[in-house]
Amino acid sequence: MSDEQIFLSELSDDELVQQMHDDLYDGLKEEIEEGTHILLERGWAPYKVLTEALVEGMRIVGEDFRDGILFVPEVLLSANAMKAGMFILRPLLAATGAPKQGKMVIGTVKGDIHDIGKNLVGMMMEGAGFDVIDLGINNAVEKYMAALEEHQPDIIGMSALLTTTMPYMKVVIDTMKEKGIRDDYVVLVGGAPLNEEFGKAVGADAYCRDAAVAVETAKDFMKRRHNTRSDR
Count of chain residues binding ligand B1M (CB under 6 A):
27
28 versus 121: smaller Cβ distance to ligand B1M: 121
Question: Interface with other proteins by CB under 8 A: which range of 17-25, 37-45, 49-57, 106-114?
Answer: 106-114
Residue 21 binds ligand B1M, judged by CB under 6 A: no
Residue 92 binds other proteins, judged by CB under 8 A: no
Which residues inside 169-208 make contact with other proteins, applying CB under 8 A?
171, 174-175, 192-193
What's the farthest any 2 CA atoms get from each other in the chain? Answer: 62
Say how far apart CA 225 and CA 60 lie, in whole Å: 24
Report the sign of the C-alpha dihedral through residues 170, 145, 95, 8, in that order.
Answer: negative
Which residues inside 116-135 make contact with other proteins, applying CB under 8 A?
116-117, 120
Residue 164 binds other proteins, judged by CB under 8 A: yes
Angstrom CA distances, 195 to 17, 118, 204, 209, 215, stand at 39, 16, 11, 7, 17
Sequence-ordered list of residues with C-beta below 8 angstroms from that of 176, at least 6 positions apart, any chain: 145, 148, 182, 185, 187
Residue 43 binds other proteins, judged by CB under 8 A: no
The crossing angle, in degrees rounded to 10, of helices 141-151 and 168-178 is 50
Which of 35, 46, 157, 199 contacts ligand B1M by CB under 6 A? 157
Residue 72 binds other proteins, judged by CB under 8 A: yes
